Structure 1
């Protein structure tokens, strides 16, 4: 039985994952710190604070697995600084909280093209985030790099609205992917037999693992 910490539970991938965690008999407890409160749901401990770091500090019980589904865009965040805070600083804070509470496996949503040396700001921040997590020497670290996400958001993102239909027809890793498939693949990976070290899952691999879990 596993005890889980999840951040990003109000988002697209995180929302799907939280519902899956609630229905997974191998999950014993769920801590889901958020910036705004979740609906009151039995089985979820939901400390909430506009400063997510303060909500994370309220989680004190031991944790086995950490899921981080935080993610935004520069446009949505409002500035480069706000984007870095959401997609880098808070992700690292999530990881440090998991470390503090004894977690052995961290799974994080990154993005296709993540590269700390990329000339593109978004990809560079994602890559820098990945490098910091790798340097923490997790017993198990799973980095997922989905392509364009599909699914119903409470607030639509302009780029996704415009480009998502086109990405459905792209080949391989560039083909868009349903957010629920990303969540399903993450859960399958978390509950799979131990595989030490770093695992990076491409968008194609995420689709395959989600299909295996369904079948």
Structure 2
């Protein structure tokens, strides 16, 4: 039976994944640290305080799999530095915590176009985050690179709402994708036959693997 660490459970993909994990008989416990409390749920351990870094450092219970679904926007974060703290630093710290707790597989939400050498700040940070996780030497690392995410969020992202109809028309891996579909693809990847090394799931592959 599997013990899971889920970071980013209050977000779009993380919230969908939390529901899937809760209903999965293979999962015996879910540790989901958040800044604000989640609704009580079977199998859920939800430590919560404003400082997520401190929470990650304080975790002690062993886990088998880490899911990291953290992600924000520069506008929502308020500055480049705040964006980098969430989308790079906290993701890296999630990996460090998972390795310390004995996890053998980490699955992380990145973004289409992630590239540490990109001229675009968002893509560059995502690429640098991926590189940092590579350097943690995970037995198995799965990187999900969705395109524009669609679905219900707890807080509005006006630009995404405006852009979503356009992204539905784009081809291949650029086409927008529902957060629930990404969560389903990640869950399937987590419980597939072990495949050591690094695996990247581009948005079109996420859509195919996450289809009901």
TM-score > 0.5, shorter chain as reference:
yes
Q: CA deviation at 1:156?
A: 1.3
Q: Secondary structure at the match of 1:25?
A: coil
Q: CA deviation at 1:54?
A: 1.6
| Alignment of 1:77 onto 2:97 | no
What residue in structure 2 maps to residue 174 of structure 1?
174
What residue in structure 2 maps to residue 39 of structure 1?
39
Alpha-carbon distance in structure 2 between the residues aligned to 1:84 and 1:70: 11
Q: CA deviation at 1:147?
A: 0.3
Of residues 89-98 and 151-160 in structure 1, the stretch that sits farther from structure 2 once superposed is: 151-160
Counterparts of residues 45-124 of structure 1 (less than 5 Å): 45-124=45-124
Counterparts of residues 21-36 of structure 1 (less than 5 Å): 21-36=21-36
> What do the CA deviations read for 1:86-131 (whole angstroms, capped 9, x no partner)?
0000001100000000000000000000000000000000000000
- Preserved contact between residue 67 and residue 106 of structure 2 (Cα < 8 Å): yes
Alpha-carbon distance in structure 2 between the residues aligned to 1:46 and 1:169: 38
- Preserved contact between residue 22 and residue 42 of structure 2 (Cα < 8 Å): no
CA RMSD of aligned residues (A): 0.7
What residue in structure 2 maps to residue 152 of structure 1?
152
> What do the CA deviations read for 1:140-182 (whole angstroms, capped 9, x no partner)?
0000000000101111112211100010010000100000000
Q: CA deviation at 1:42?
A: 2.5
Alpha-carbon distance in structure 1 between the residues aligned to 2:42 and 2:14: 17
- Preserved contact between residue 4 and residue 29 of structure 2 (Cα < 8 Å): yes
Alpha-carbon distance in structure 1 between the residues aligned to 2:42 and 2:177: 30
Q: CA deviation at 1:208?
A: 0.6
- Preserved contact between residue 72 and residue 86 of structure 2 (Cα < 8 Å): yes
